[in-house]
Chains A and B, each alone.
Chain A
Amino acid sequence: MYTATAPDAAAGDAHAHEHAPAGVMRWLTSTNHKDIGTLYLWFSLFMFFFAGGLAMLIRAELFQPGLQLFQPNVFNQLTTMHGLIMIFGAIMPALVGFANWQIPLMIGASDMAFPRLNNWSFWLLPAAGILLISTFFVPGGAIAGGWTMYPPLYIQGGIAYDITILAVHILGISSIMGAINIITTVLNMRAPGMTPMKMPLFVWTWLITAFLLVAVMPVLASAITMLLTDRHFGTHFFDAAGGGDAVMFQHLFWFFGHPEVYIMILPAFGIVSTIIPTFARKPLFGYASMVYAVASIAFLSFIVWAHHMFSTGMPVGGQLFFMYTTMLIAVPTGVKVFNWVATLWRGSISFETPMLFALAFVILFAIGGFSGVVLALVPVDIQLQDTYYVVAHFHYVLFSGSAMAIMGGVYYWLPKWTGHLYDEKLGKLHFWLTSIAFNITFFPMHFLGLAGMPRRIPDYALQFADFNMIASVGGFLLGAGQLLFLYIVVKCVRGGAPAGDRPWEGADTLEWTQTSPPPYHSFVTPPLVR
């Protein structure tokens, strides 16, 4: 798709004095999008294991009925922090890591629009991480009211609840600045000849995601500020005696929360839309429709939020409106799935590890989409809200959706980032372990929810025992499988068969015109794109 002028190795050498500084200071003070991308990815991997560890503890407690390992207050901390850290510490930073590495390379830019701001966006994450992890060690322990932080329960908690609010504020600042950086980079720094409708779809998905971030993270900030003032400044935002309303928090939170889940999936769509054409050796089917579909999904994501609140007692008109808009969002999402299948159709397909993850994504994410349609229907949602059916749904879209797309993307781009091929047979083993264990863990949860098991409970009635045991076994396998992923990544970083500029013959975006790894400063002068 792209032809570019000769690679700017010469231009890179001309800036020899700007070669990477050495040691720890390199990573602390970097203004280089590749370094910062690497930082985000390692940070997210660490957080993925931390939050994954919490999940292992959860599944250990839920292995059998009864309370064996944890008192309910500790269990509630585990579930709450698992969610919070996976969302803000693992998935979002990983996707930003991809944005950092790939966007400048894919649009032929020398770096992000604001390289120093970029570094600040990253280094705010460890600050927030320190605050969040510290909450396990303060009196009363970490927050335990769900990652959704609903009042009045949230108002009851101890010092961890204040720390968490401040940590989320810091995460918000990081995201908002990152989003501004991405928007400006994509709008202002594309190589000459790369019109918007020639941009790789991954860049489109991140552009649109950045718009969502900049619009809704501030609303989360306002909502948690109101929690803080209700806790300490005597305000009555969420207290009925003072004219406030706990449900109002839910509206504010989910106005952020729903676009947030699209923030977590759209870049994953972009990754999958890059991998499938590569290994099908065929252009992405319906590029323009894919762009319009992503834009439609983003627009619709602003008007569906109350489907998280169908049982709060809103008027019929509200329930119907949000039911219809939520169902509508299935249309552009469906278009994307069909387009991926059409890309495969009559392709020349090979099954390297990235492709396996992308293919599994399409099928498993679609299952998550179907359970979403089921949940969209209010009468059915009344039975399924706050049950394990919802837990199943969001793990299908967030784990076999976002997380598996991220894993596929890591395998896809590791050769470019490191210059080495990863171990293909281990990669495939990791894929199969992950996919099978994932389904063993989460598919039964649909049944648990249908059968009536609520979520966020440390102990359960006897009729839920068998599927819980199966889910726990699957969960332990899933967790163990990710240790293999860590091994594969570390092994590839340290060495491996040379990747060459373009290990994937079907890859055609601009980064593959650079060496593997690319020069520290690439595209110092932008290429001409035809």
Chain B
Amino acid sequence: MRIANYADLRANSCALRRLAGRRFFALLSGLVVTLAPALARAEYRMNLAAPATGLAKEVYDLHNLIVWICFAIFVVVFVPMVVALVYHRKSTGHQPSAFRDNHKVEIIWTVIPALILVGMAWPATRLVIAMKDTSKEELTVKVTGLQWKWEYEYLGDDIRFMSNMSTPQEQIAGTQAKGEHYLLEVDRPLVVPTGRKIRLVLTASDVIHSWWVPALGVKQDAIPGFIRDTWFTVDKPGTYRGQCAELCGIGHGFMPTVVKALAPDEFAAWRAEQKVAMAAAVAVPGKIYNMAELKTIGEKVYTTNCLACHQASGAGMPPAFPPLLGSKIIKGDKAGHIDMVVHGKPGTAMAAFGKQLSDLDIAAVVTYERNHWTNAIGDVVQPDEVATRRK
């Protein structure tokens, strides 16, 4: 068809519509075929997580209410629009009106939405105030965000541990089948009693992180140098999983927040166990560890703390994350190597692990690094040597 001007365009619109219609149908069919397998066996959560706290339930309900209101407004606004598109067409001969305003109508559709918003704001305000009220807490836990793990410290209890993601690298790389809680599992979750008001005080040691567990309805940024707080009361025992919710570097997607809620008596038992375990994890004073013992512990420490940057192969990702294979630090003396791990390198991504790891852990990982892959320096590091370098 030859289109010389706008009139030609209109005259040929029927043909154009048929052509467009055929192509459109073909496209739609193609899409359905591509997506059908995924659609068939899919898991489609379409709403907020099942709430495990009273507050989360109220948030869940508020959200549902708002969605329904928005849907109703959508219908009220767009049904007339569709009516206009169908019935007020030039092609069916409809003549245009000339009206260009109507003050009454405009006032109505300014005031009514404003009132609807006030209606939404009322329950929301109540919830905002409730969420901020961290008073009368029954247990306080200090949460510290680090690159890329969480530290939990039960204030007043001397219980303190790191919570690292425990999904193996092989699952991420695809050489192993992914487990059920892929990326949402940790070696040591935050353990809390049910039915008690738990207050979290949060901070961070390096960059901003954010502690979030959807089922608990809690999200709070962890900001270095500052204390923030939030609270929750878990209704039922169970394990609740979330993730860091503020971009914090390369490990942002790999630092889950897992909370295990136990009945109060089970929690009390766990607490007592922890105090014993904390004592045991400290290096046995006076013991001389051998290469094999240190390397075994060191490999675990390396995988949890160093692998993300320095890689499983030790090759790192230069220039930001230097290789450990035959590097100056490795070939240099033990003291320099220990210093690097304990004190980090300010101005770079190398954190001061002295704050996070025990003397034994550091001794082990340094020994491991010096004697693994192609490194074979042959020396061992004892926990006491690390203790000396801390000063």
Contact = CB atoms under 8 A, between A and B. Distances in A.
Interface of A: 65-68, 71-73, 76, 139-140, 144-146, 150-153, 156, 158, 239-241, 245-247, 280-289, 311-313, 315-316, 319-320, 323-324, 327-328, 330-331, 334-335, 337-339, 341-342, 344-350, 352, 359, 362-363, 366-367, 370, 373-374, 377-380, 382-383, 385-387, 421, 424-425, 428-429, 432-433, 436, 440, 447, 450-452, 454-463, 465-467, 469-470, 473, 477, 497-498, 500, 503-505
A158 B67 CA distance: 44
16 contacts: A72-B251, A72-B252, A139-B319, A150-B208, A247-B223, A320-B128, A334-B110, A344-B81, A350-B90, A350-B91, A370-B73, A378-B124, A379-B59, A379-B127, A432-B27, A462-B43
Contacts of A379: 58-59, 62, 124, 127-128, 131, 217
Interface in B93-142: 94-102, 105-106, 109-110, 113-114, 117, 120-121, 124-125, 127-129, 131-132
Contacts of A436: 27-28, 31
B304 to A, nearest CB: 17
Given A366-B77, A497-B3, A316 B253 contact: no
Interface stretch (B240-248, B266-274, B354-362): B240-248
B11 interface: no
Interface stretch (B150-158, B180-188, B335-343, B370-378): B180-188
Contacts of A377: 62-63, 66, 120-121, 124
Interface string B59-70: 100110011001
A382 B97 contact: no
A332 B23 CA distance: 39
B223 A473 contact: no
Interface string B191-230: 0000000000000001110101010011111011110110
A153 B340 CA distance: 21
Contacts of B117: 327-328, 330-331, 373
Contacts of B251: 72
Given A342-B102, A377-B120, 16 more contacts: A241-B225, A286-B102, A313-B228, A316-B129, A327-B120, A344-B84, A370-B73, A383-B217, A428-B16, A447-B44, A454-B212, A459-B254, A461-B182, A466-B42, A497-B8, A500-B6
Contacts of A456: 247, 252-253
A341 B81 contact: yes
A282 B228 contact: no
B100 A286 contact: yes
Contact of B132 (A71, A284, A316): A316
Contact of B206 (A152, A451, A459, A465): A152
A328 to B, nearest CB: 7
B284 interface: no
Nearest to A313: B228
A346 B80 CA distance: 11
Among A76, A342, A352, A447, residue most surrounded by chain B Cβ atoms (within 10 Å): A342
Of A247, A311, A316, A466, chain B has the most CB atoms within 10 Å of the CB of A311
B219 A382 contact: yes
B281 interface: no
Contacts of A316: 128-129, 132
A457 B16 CA distance: 44
Contacts of A331: 110, 113-114, 117
B31 A477 contact: yes
A452 B250 contact: no
Given A66-B173, A67-B173, A429 B96 contact: no
B232 to A, nearest CB: 11
B221 A334 contact: no
B59 A425 contact: no
Contact of B109 (A65, A338, A362): A338
A245 B226 contact: yes
Interface stretch (B46-54, B286-294, B295-303): B46-54
B31 A462 contact: no
Nearest to A465: B43
A312 B132 CA distance: 12
B34 A473 contact: yes
Contact of A348 (B43, B89, B173): B89
B80 A451 contact: no
Contacts of B250: 71-73, 76, 144
Contacts of A433: 27
Contacts of A280: 88, 96
Given A311-B221, A341-B77, A153 B317 contact: no
Interface string B1-42: 001111011100000100110011001100100110011001
B59 A380 contact: yes
A460 B242 CA distance: 11
A382 B125 contact: no
The 3 nearest A-B residue pairs measured at CB: A240-B225, A457-B253, A313-B228
Contacts, number: 343
Contacts of A241: 225
B38 A470 contact: yes
A518 B206 CA distance: 58
Contact of B46 (A319, A334, A338, A450): A450
B128 A466 contact: no
Given A335-B109, A387-B245, A425-B16, A346 B97 contact: yes
A346 B96 contact: yes
Contacts of B100: 282-287
A425 B9 CA distance: 10
B390 interface: no
Contacts of A459: 172, 183, 253-254
A383 B245 CA distance: 10
Contacts of B124: 323, 377-380
Given A158-B320, A313-B220, A386 B183 contact: no
A152 to B, nearest CB: 5
B252 A457 contact: yes
B85 to A, nearest CB: 6
B127 A451 contact: no
B168 interface: no
B349 interface: yes
A341 B223 contact: no
Contact of A311 (B3, B16, B220, B225): B220
B81 A334 contact: no
B224 A246 contact: yes
A440 B6 CA distance: 33
Contact of B84 (A284, A349, A451): A349
A241 B226 CA distance: 10
Given A156-B348, A282-B98, A425-B20, A503 B183 contact: no
A134 B228 CA distance: 39
Contacts of A373: 66, 70, 117, 120
Nearest to B37: A469
A334 B70 CA distance: 12
B391 interface: no
A158 B317 contact: no
B174 interface: yes
A339 B103 CA distance: 12
A349 B89 contact: yes
Given A150-B208, A425-B16, A428-B16, A349 B85 contact: yes
A182 B287 CA distance: 77
B312 to A, nearest CB: 13
Contacts of A150: 208, 246-247
Contacts of A282: 96-98, 100
Contacts of A465: 43
Given A280-B96, A374-B66, A386-B210, A156 B349 contact: yes
